[in-house]
């Protein structure tokens, strides 16, 4: 149950919202002109119907409908009362016409019967209408031409001119090469097709393009190989002939020569290793030769003046200071040159320039008699260039027989493989290999600039990080405190 429901009958109207209209933009937007527009529209409607009803007469608003005649025309003939004005001095007046004047409709109702003078709506032409229009125009043209023979002559002349203009174009087309385009360009007989094209006057570039495209598409064309593929990186042989002293049954002299070379190689390696030792460990003195404080002080005071020498130098300075007198130095004064001096300098400069020009002229003229010397200089220059070219060529050949620097490491030659006299058995069955075959091939590749020199990777030794535990740190601090107290 709904209780205590109050019915509100009188509801207060909402207040009209007000706007500031101090500007033109606000005035146009916020002003209400609906009632004014309605009033103006009503006035316009009244004017369309002949003016306001209060001002119009009854005769204008009401009329008598008398029906239609037997012929179906409006019988609007009514007696009209009018007065005839006559001109001064004119005998006859205006006569009334018996022609019926139709009653004009209102201007506002004229649009209902159709606008006078307006064009009819566009009607789309069908195919039949278009054909009839073309036939009619052709028939009309024939009739006109029959009536006017000079037009027939003009039209025939124009036709001849058009045909004459088309003749060279037809001739150009007839000169084109007849090619059998039904032939398959990808067939094995492609070369025959190219020959036919060449015989018929086709450019060689077009024929070559067909062959190239055919070979690429059919995957018969070999891949372009770079020029440096077959170029040798080194003049050294792939498999070098072994030394005679490395044989399983060598001659005594060959074996001794090989041993001598191996010894020289080891001496050279030891000398290089000793060079670095002298620059590192041997550079520092031993304990017996280590410097003391006295030796260090003596060494540092080398070249410094003693007390006696300082006193003597001070006394000498005092004596020289008394003898010397102060001198006043001023700026160097420059005297102005006279007119005579300037003329003289100018004349000397001109004479010097003149003598230089004359000398150049004499040298240029005398060069004609130095043809032999020029020939000699040219000959010497050519011989020098030739010798340089030969030395450059020899250096290139020498470089080809040596290992290059391909990486950051230099090539290190392997140790000479040699067997001692006790190891030489004289039998191939009991002979032992002096070197590994894999190592020998690896070094051979490095020697021939196929592989860069390499070293075995050695991992770096990492230093362990020493960290004190927190518990240990606290215990040590307590021990230190107790030690200080004691």
Contact assessment for residue 454 and residue 409, using Cβ atoms and an 8 Å cutoff:
yes
> Looking at per-residue confidence, does 34 or 101 come out higher?
34
Q: In this structure, what are the phi and psi dihedrals at residue 413, rounded to the nearest 5 degrees?
A: -65, 145
What percent of the chain has pLDDT above 90? 20
Judge whether residue 215 has pLDDT over 90: no
> Looking at per-residue confidence, does 85 or 104 come out higher?
104
Give the least confident one: 18-32, 125-139, 372-386: 125-139
Domain boundaries, the chain: 33-65, 132-173, 225-286+341-454
The most confident of the ranges 96-110, 195-209, 253-267 is: 253-267
Contact assessment for residue 423 and residue 249, using Cβ atoms and an 8 Å cutoff:
no
Residue 346: C-alpha distances to residues 132, 334, 340 (Å):
110, 20, 10
* Residue 77 pLDDT: 57
Contact assessment for residue 201 and residue 418, using Cβ atoms and an 8 Å cutoff:
no
Q: Which helix (H) or strand (E) holds 266?
A: helix 252-280
Contact assessment for residue 433 and residue 388, using Cβ atoms and an 8 Å cutoff:
no
Closest residue by Cα to residue 32 from 45, 18, 46? 18
Q: State mean pLDDT over 67-75.
A: 52
- Grade residue 1 by pLDDT with cuts at 50, 70 and 90: very low
Judge whether residue 114 has pLDDT over 70: no
- Grade residue 96 by pLDDT with cuts at 50, 70 and 90: low
Mean pLDDT of the chain: 77
* Residue 10 pLDDT: 58
d(CA 233, CA 403): 9
Long-range contacts of residues 411-419, Cβ cutoff 8 Å, at least 24 apart: 411/446, 411/447, 411/453, 412/453, 413/443, 413/447, 414/439, 414/440, 414/443, 415/262, 415/265, 416/258, 416/261, 416/262, 416/265, 417/246, 418/245, 418/246, 418/258, 418/259, 418/262, 419/246
Q: On the CB side of 87, how many CA atoms lie within 13 Å of its CA?
A: 4
The most confident of the ranges 59-73, 290-304, 321-335, 384-398 is: 384-398
- Grade residue 46 by pLDDT with cuts at 50, 70 and 90: confident
* Residue 122 pLDDT: 64
Concatenated DSSP letters for 116-178?
A: TTPPPPP----HHHHHHHHHHHHHHHHHHHHH-HHHHHHHHHHHHHHHHHHHHHHHHHHTS--
| pLDDT (tens digit per residue) in 174-191 | 555 565 555 555 555 556
Q: State mean pLDDT over 29-35.
A: 81
d(CA 245, CA 258): 6
Which tokens is 456 given?
A: 């075995």
Give the least confident one: 88-92, 315-319, 472-476: 88-92
> Looking at per-residue confidence, does 472 or 109 come out higher?
472
d(CA 46, CA 52): 5
Q: On the CB side of 320, how many CA atoms lie within 13 Å of its CA?
A: 6
| pLDDT (tens digit per residue) in 246-278 | 888 899 999 999 999 999 999 999 988 888 887
* Residue 351 pLDDT: 95
Which tokens is 186 given?
A: 């990808």
| pLDDT (tens digit per residue) in 326-356 | 565 556 677 888 999 999 999 999 999 999 9
d(CA 175, CA 169): 10
* Residue 289 pLDDT: 80
Give the least confident one: 14-23, 45-54, 293-302, 311-320: 311-320
Q: State mean pLDDT over 388-395.
A: 95
Contact assessment for residue 432 and residue 423, using Cβ atoms and an 8 Å cutoff:
yes
Q: State mean pLDDT over 222-247.
A: 86
> Looking at per-residue confidence, does 111 or 413 come out higher?
413
Contact assessment for residue 93 and residue 84, using Cβ atoms and an 8 Å cutoff:
yes
Judge whether residue 451 has pLDDT over 80: yes
d(CA 44, CA 56): 15
Judge whether residue 319 has pLDDT over 90: no
pTM listed for this prediction:
0.40
Concatenated DSSP letters for 309-336?
A: HHHHHHHHHHHHHHH-------PPP-PP
d(CA 208, CA 215): 11
What percent of the chain has pLDDT above 70? 68
Judge whether residue 90 has pLDDT over 60: no
* Residue 178 pLDDT: 60
* Residue 369 pLDDT: 87
Closest residue by Cα to residue 399 from 237, 234, 238? 234
């Amino acid at each position: 149950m709904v209780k205590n429901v109050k019915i509100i009958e009188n509801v207060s109207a909402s207040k009209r919202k007000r706007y500031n209209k101090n500007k033109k933009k606000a005035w146009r937007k916020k002003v209400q002109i609906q009632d004014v527009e309605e009033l103006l529209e009503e006035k316009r409607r009244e004017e369309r119907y002949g003016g306001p009803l209060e001002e119009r007469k009854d005769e204008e608003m009401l009329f008598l409908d008398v029906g239609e005649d037997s012929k179906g025309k409006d019988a609007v003939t009514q007696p009209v009362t009018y007065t005839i004005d006559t001109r001064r001095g004119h005998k006859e007046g205006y006569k009334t016409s018996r022609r019926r004047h139709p009653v004009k409709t209102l201007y506002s109702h004229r649009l209902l019967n159709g606008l006078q003078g307006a064009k009819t709506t566009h009607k789309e032409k069908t195919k039949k209408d278009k054909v009839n229009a073309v036939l009619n125009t052709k028939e009309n043209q024939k009739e006109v031409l029959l009536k006017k023979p000079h037009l027939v002559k003009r039209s025939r002349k124009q036709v001849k001119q058009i045909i004459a203009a088309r003749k060279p174009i037809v001739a150009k087309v007839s000169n084109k090469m007849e090619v059998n385009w039904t032939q398959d360009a990808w067939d094995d007989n492609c070369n025959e097709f190219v020959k036919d094209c060449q015989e018929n006057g086709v450019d060689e570039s077009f024929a070559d393009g067909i062959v190239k495209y055919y070979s690429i598409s059919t995957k018969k064309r070999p891949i372009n190989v770079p020029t440096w593929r077959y170029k040798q990186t080194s003049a050294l042989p792939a498999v070098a002939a072994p030394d005679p002293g490395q044989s399983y049954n060598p001659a005594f002299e060959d074996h001794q020569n090989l041993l001598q070379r191996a010894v020289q190689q080891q001496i050279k390696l030891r000398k290089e290793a000793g060079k670095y030792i002298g620059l590192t460990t041997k550079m520092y003195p031993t304990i017996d030769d280590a410097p003391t404080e006295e030796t260090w002080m003596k060494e540092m005071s080398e070249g410094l003046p003693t007390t006696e020498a300082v006193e003597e130098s001070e006394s000498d300075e005092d004596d020289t200071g008394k003898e010397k007198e102060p001198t006043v130095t001023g700026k160097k004064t420059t005297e102005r040159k006279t007119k005579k001096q300037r003329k003289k300098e100018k004349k000397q400069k001109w004479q010097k320039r003149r003598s230089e020009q004359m000398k150049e002229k004499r040298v240029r003229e005398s060069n004609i008699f130095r043809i032999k010397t020029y020939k000699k200089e040219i000959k010497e220059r050519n011989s020098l260039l030739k010798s340089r070219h030969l030395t450059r060529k020899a250096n290139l050949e020498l470089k080809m027989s040596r290992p290059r620097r391909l990486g950051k490491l230099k090539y290190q030659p392997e140790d000479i493989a040699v067997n001692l006299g006790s190891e030489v058995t004289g039998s191939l069955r009991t002979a032992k290999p002096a070197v590994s075959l894999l190592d020998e091939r690896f070094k051979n590749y490095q020697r021939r600039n196929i592989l860069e020199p390499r070293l075995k990777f050695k991992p770096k030794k990492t230093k362990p990080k020493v960290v004190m535990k927190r518990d240990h740190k606290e215990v040590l601090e307590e021990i230190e405190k107790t030690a200080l107290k004691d």
